[in-house]
Structure 1
Amino acid sequence: MSSEYPVPLQNYGGAEMDVSQTTASVVYQKLRQDILRGLLKPGERLRVNEVAQRYGCGAIPTREALSRLSAEALVLYMEQRGFAVAPISMDSLADLTHARVWTAQAAMREAVLKGDAQWEERVLLSYHRLSKVSRYESVDPPVANPAFDQPHREFHLQLFSGCGSHWMVDTCMRLFDHAERYRSLSRQVAVMPREDEHRQILDAVLQRRVDDAVSLISEHFRLTAKIVGDPGK
């Protein structure tokens, strides 16, 4: 299962439309990444012309990209005010964390019970790749390492991929992406070494300790919310 969410390009019979769709996809990916990494701040206005200039594209694919992100609740559209990065709040984080824990518990339990040898190999390989990448480029001041993001996401995706449900995996990873916004902002404030958590989850998964795996992934997500809520502690 791929770690990406490929969006099929619609073909309306003309090469020009295909180019527009491709451009919109590129802008969508760049915008999405900048939102998740906190480079575009919560509540920041996203004026179509300014966004188009920032990413070197036209207004039409930019508007398409913004509309797609709006459908994912990463961008808001307000009548007569246009687009803006979706806001964040502690109440929203609490709600998000509950949803992540509930879905992760179900997906993890099924994955540990049903995952085959190929699943184990994918999980182990994704952890190996993650362990080779530092979470931070600098600890004083805190500077997050963008190279950490994809291996981190891939590890979590592969953990859930053994559950047997594409819908469940997709749901877990969409919630993961929304939580990434909060993680990115907290990493700009404080350094939190958390590498042992991933190793403990891996060990529980490979040893087929179902209850431990479910408990550890739940606490992993709850601790993320706690750190985001009070990054100085």
Structure 2
Amino acid sequence: MFGRKTQDSDTVVRLIASQLRRDISVGVLAPDTKLKIDELRQRYGGSAHSFREALTLLASEGIVEASAQRGFRVASATQSDLEDISRLRAEIESLGLGWSIKHGDLRWEGEVLAAFHTYSKLCMQTDADRQAFAIEWDEAGRHFHTTLVAACRSPRLIGFQDRLFTQSRRFRYAALVEGSIDLAAETRGLGEVVEATLSRDADRACELLSNQILGALTR
């Protein structure tokens, strides 16, 4: 009975965290916004305890900042933040892709192809209506990049990659809506990454992926 209660509470926390994470990613909760638990409860529903747990979880992901004196607030999103996140993403994802190419099997290759197919299709749809498909596009991009490193045999690297991608989502979403992402060019670039990956050309695949991620700094 107690185990079920704990499990239900954990589910509520994850759901709240998911909603807050999405609203931070799409700018509904803007950078540096103070996150007052009473106001959040009125907006989303849920207990004060659940929101504290959810905000603590998001703080561990780096998209919320916690202070004993000032409570919680949305993390900043400056150009310096983007540069730091992008450079780390380029290093971590390239490393993970290299290890995945070394260890990945045919099933992993199929998953990479499927994830890229979904993402490329959503890039085409999103290019026609960036507001309508932005969230689906973002999720498909996250899944594709996660799949690239999924066979690296390092849970810690996978966790770090996921955290960095989560931190990058606000910048990607803003760039998409502002029209500064060339979705056709991104699709072509990632297609080259996939081609090199399936050819098991780790050096080329990692270089292409790194360049693709660092392209965010020149938009």
Structure 1 length normalisation: TM-score?
A: 0.84
RMSD across aligned positions (CA): 2.0
Matched, 1:120 2:109: yes
More helix by share: 2
Name which of 128, 138, 153 aligns with 2:129. Answer: 138
Name which of 34, 37, 46 aligns with 2:35. Answer: 46
SS of structure 1 residue aligned to 2:151: helix
SS of structure 2 residue aligned to 1:84: strand
Which residue of structure 1 lines up, in the alignment, with residue 118 of structure 2?
Answer: 129
What aligned pairs does 1:25-104 form with structure 2 within 5 A after superposition? 25-104=14-93
1:16 and 1:170 mapped to 2: Cα distance? 27
Displacement of 1:184 in angstroms is 1.3
Deviating beyond 4 angstroms after TM superposition, the runs of 4 or more aligned structure 1 residues are: 14-18
Paired amino acid for 2:190: H
1:160 and 1:214 mapped to 2: Cα distance? 11
Paired amino acid for 2:200: R
Displacement of 1:85 in angstroms is 0.3
SS of structure 1 residue aligned to 2:200: coil
Which residue of structure 2 lines up, in the alignment, with residue 200 of structure 1?
Answer: 192
Checking the alignment, whether the CA contact within 8 Å between 2:98 and 2:206 is kept in structure 1 is: yes
SS of structure 1 residue aligned to 2:129: strand
What aligned pairs does 1:162-181 form with structure 2 within 5 A after superposition? 162-181=151-170
1:160 and 1:106 mapped to 2: Cα distance? 8
Query: CA offsets, 1:67-111, max 9 Å, x none?
Result: 111122211123343211001222222222221122122111122
Which residue of structure 2 lines up, in the alignment, with residue 8 of structure 1?
Answer: none
Percent identity over paired residues: 29
Displacement of 1:209 in angstroms is 1.7
SS of structure 2 residue aligned to 1:154: helix
Q: 1:52 to 1:125 in 2, by over 3 A?
A: same
Residues matched between the structures, number: 214
Residue ranges of structure 2 left out of the alignment (5+ in a row) = none
Matched, 1:24 2:16: no
